[in-house]
A and B are shown apart, each in its own frame.
Chain A
Amino acid sequence: KQEVTQIPAALSVPEGENLVLNCSFTDSAIYNLQWFRQDPGKGLTSLLLIQSSQREQTSGRLNASLDKSSGRSTLYIAASQPGDSATYLCAAGSSNTGKLIFGQGTTLQVKP
């Protein structure tokens, strides 16, 4: 059974700092790994999708990496801004159904 863990549960940083969010999963037989952002009371916004055959994906100030052998993914946020404050969720995608197994999220606060 796939289990996804995110550490830390919460993080507070000053504006401008570079930061790394961690995600680990127990079953390496994933189809993809997806990172999402969730603002309070809202739905999920997809940030990055990494296919199982890929090692990383980049979008603007965001870079996500995937290491299937160690069961880890990281989300790197460069030059953080107060607008980046949100909960970040990672999810491992099942190979046949595509269903996502989510971690509990990391709540990020970027202080001006």
Chain B
Amino acid sequence: DTGVSQNPRHKITKRGQNVTFRCDPISEHNRLYWYRQTLGQGPEFLTYFQNEAQLEKSRLLSDRFSAERPKGSFSTLEIQRTEQGDSAMYLCASSSTGTGGFEQYFGPGTRLTVT
């Protein structure tokens, strides 16, 4: 399977705990995006990387959130001191700045539940 993969698919954690999600993009894609989606809403942009450089972060990304993309391959999104308001689906997407017109391909998402 050469699509975008995300792990874990589901995560249940207690308030105050730290969680980390992983995204593996399509191998030849140099751009990687993180979005958050709550029930009944469209996804909201969180941050994106071009290769290993994090080029933009949304105001939604508080200082409890950090994302990395070492060596421009997979990416991790960490949430520290989770709050109930962090419960959402976290989606990762990748695209290429070459051919394809920046078309984004999404992974299956990680559903986070904070109790």
Contact = CB atoms under 8 A, between A and B. Distances in A.
B72 interface: no
B42 A43 contact: no
A51 B93 CA distance: 18
B105 interface: yes
Nearest to B47: A99
Main DSSP-derived SS at the A contact region: strand
Contacts, number: 66
**Chain A, interface residues (CB within 8 Å), range:** 20 to 34
Interface of A: 4, 31-32, 34, 36, 41-46, 49, 51, 89, 91, 93, 97-105
22 contacts: A36-B106, A42-B108, A42-B109, A44-B106, A46-B105, A46-B106, A49-B103, A89-B42, A89-B43, A91-B43, A93-B104, A98-B33, A99-B45, A99-B56, A100-B43, A100-B45, A100-B104, A102-B35, A102-B43, A102-B44, A104-B40, A105-B42
Given A34-B103, A43-B108, A44-B91, 11 more contacts: A44-B106, A45-B106, A46-B105, A49-B103, A89-B43, A98-B97, A99-B48, A100-B33, A102-B35, A102-B43, A105-B42
